[in-house]
Amino acid sequence: MKEIILKPLIFILFVSLSLHSCYKRDDALSPAIEVQDFVWKGLNAYYLYQEDIADLSDTRFSSDLQLESYLSGFGSPVDIFNSLKTLSDSRSLLIDDYTIEDIVSPLRSSFTTGMEFGLFKDPNRLDSIIGFVSHILPLSQASTDSIVRGDFFYAIINEEADTIHLKEDNYRALLLNYPQDTLKLLMANFNGDTLIVNNQRVDLVKKNYQYPPILLKEVFDLGAKKAGYLLYNNDFSTNYIGDLNATMQEFKNESVNELIIDLRYAIGSHSYARTIAELASMITGQFPNEILMKETWNEKAQTWFELNQPDALITKFPTTLQNNETINALNLTDVYIILNGNGFNGSSALELLINSLHPYINVHVLGNTTRGDNLGSISLYDSPDYDIFNANLNHTYSLQPTVVTFSNKENETYETGIIPTIQLCPIEDPLNLGELGGLTDPLLSEVMQYVTTGNTGVTLLCNPFELELVYNSINSQRIIDKGTFIKQDLPNLGR
């Protein structure tokens, strides 16, 4: 966490710069509006778009009584919070119980058979659906059954021992919300035109499953190049940063000089800028303590930081994790990021990584254009310095407003998205999946061709049978991106 230590003289300067509009009260605030008061003052101080909201202006109220009268006009904290956001702001949040929200996220787990799959319309039968196995989770129940990536299925056997064919109006009930303990799949062969029943049945049982930190890792000897391959399907949270660091040491031990990060099955979700900085240092390592990313706050907060604590506005390449473990750095000059999937544009954390590394090394984005989310958020609590310590015990509300935009060392940003170096097929071809993470994997094969030759004119044959995909189990697991967060001690605003 970036430390900001306020001396009395600095605090006087802070007040003189009008970083808050209301003086500190000597009398008690009415309990009926204390949450509304916290919301207004938190957004007035740090909301990125504070200057654009008339009711957040420092000159909007001339006295505390006038502010209290304004606050009393809102029936709930949600009402005032919504009224003080810009219409386009879908990121900022008001949390009604931070004691639940702030619980450390557990390791990813689910109740699953271990089969990830997709569904497409049968080209020859109206309303019929054909399923295909995209991959099997390692050490899951399905990994012990006779079912593999690239297998097809067309029906299930229900509790009454009836054969029920998959259709557009029943596949969710049959494959996702079924009541029985065992999913009994009827298998088939499919050549792109004709479905041929093969009289095989696979019984899959749901069990509690904890996802591995890393789905797959390999090292490929490509002559002069030695590529570390990482198939990553979790979020970039502190839960898995230690596992990523250990994997980088394994790659380092094998003299890897290229890195491929495959995110085709990634679930996204939020992260912290510090965690992304740690990952950036694992990929590089030759730029210790150089500026990696910059933050820009609203005008009055930015002015204060620039005058009093300019180091708080930058994040440098770290050399250790937050637990003081040494970062295992690969010292690379090139990293390749596979970002494909129908409608998948990565996450704000991934964009921050790509943009921050761009001035230092070659970052090759392979697949889709990213979304363009260069915003950062912070958690604010109802305490004198907006920290959770000494928070008001009368309520459990907290704020997660958008407070900064990110840019890199060269002041480049990415609010319009990051354009990929080469295009990849948006979806995998169910009839040509190959071995996941192997050289028969068509998607990885195309990437390897680019890595070894640098040829950006890759010719792809995507979905040659024009199959219409209707469902993908990975898409249903992707978490709404809550953004990239920063952790930073904030100046006391004299509340």
Query: Secondary structure of 359-392 in the HEC alphabet?
Result: CCCEEEEEECCCCCCCEEECCEECCCCCCCCCCC
**Could you tell me the CA-to-CA distances from 259 to 323, 362, 395, 435 in Å, in that order?**
25, 11, 48, 20
Question: Which run of H or of E encompasses 157?
Answer: strand 152-157
> Quick one: pLDDT at residue 489?
80
> Quick one: pLDDT at residue 458?
62
Q: Number of helices and strands (H, E) in the chain?
A: 12, 23
> Quick one: pLDDT at residue 481?
78
Q: Which contacts qualify for 14-20: CB closer than 8 Å, 24 or more apart?
A: 14/304, 14/308, 14/491, 14/493, 14/494, 15/494, 17/300, 17/303, 17/304, 17/307, 18/58, 18/300, 19/45, 19/300, 19/301, 19/304, 19/491, 19/493, 20/44, 20/45, 20/58, 20/493, 20/494, 20/495
Close Cβ partners of 252 (under 8 Å, ≥ 6 residues apart): 328, 329, 330
Count other Cβ atoms within 10 Å, centred on residue 153.
26
Q: Which 8-state DSSP code applies to residue 478?
A: P
CA–CA gap between residue 268 and residue 480 (Å, rounded): 8
> Quick one: pLDDT at residue 52?
96
Burial of 449 (0-12, 13-18, 19+ CB in 10 A): middle
**Could you tell me the CA-to-CA distances from 363 to 4, 65, 95, 323, 423 in Å, in that order?**
33, 55, 36, 28, 15
Query: How far from the centroid of its chain's Cα atoms is residue 377's Cα?
Result: 13
Helix, strand or coil, per DSSP, at residue 78: helix
CA–CA gap between residue 175 and residue 196 (Å, rounded): 21
* Global pTM exceeds 0.85: yes
pLDDT digits (tens), the chain, 495 positions: 443 333 333 333 343 444 444 444 445 788 889 999 999 999 999 999 999 999 999 999 999 999 999 999 999 999 999 999 999 999 999 999 998 877 777 788 999 999 999 999 999 998 999 999 999 999 999 999 999 999 999 999 998 899 999 999 999 999 999 888 899 999 999 999 999 999 999 999 999 999 999 999 999 999 889 999 999 988 888 899 999 999 999 999 999 999 999 999 988 777 899 999 999 999 999 999 999 999 999 999 999 999 999 999 999 999 999 999 999 999 999 999 998 876 677 889 999 999 999 999 999 999 988 889 999 999 999 999 999 988 999 999 999 999 999 999 999 999 999 999 988 888 899 999 999 999 999 999 999 999 999 887 666 788 899 999 999 999 888 877 788 999 888 876 545
Question: Which run of H or of E encompasses 273?
Answer: helix 273-283
> Quick one: pLDDT at residue 492?
64
Count other Cβ atoms within 10 Å, centred on residue 308.
18
Residue from 138, 117, 233, 265 nearest 183 by CA? 117
The token duo for 487 is 């952790």
Q: Which 8-state DSSP code applies to residue 2?
A: B
Residue from 351, 330, 325, 360 nearest 260 by CA? 330
CA–CA gap between residue 362 and residue 366 (Å, rounded): 12
HSE value, Cβ hemisphere, 13 Å, CA-based, for 465: 18
| 3-state helix vs strand vs coil in the chain, percent to 5 | 25, 25, 50
Close Cβ partners of 492 (under 8 Å, ≥ 6 residues apart): 6, 11, 384, 385
Task: Identify whether the C-beta of residue 199 lies closer than 8 Å to the C-beta of residue 216.
Answer: no
Side chain identity at residue 423, one-letter code: Q
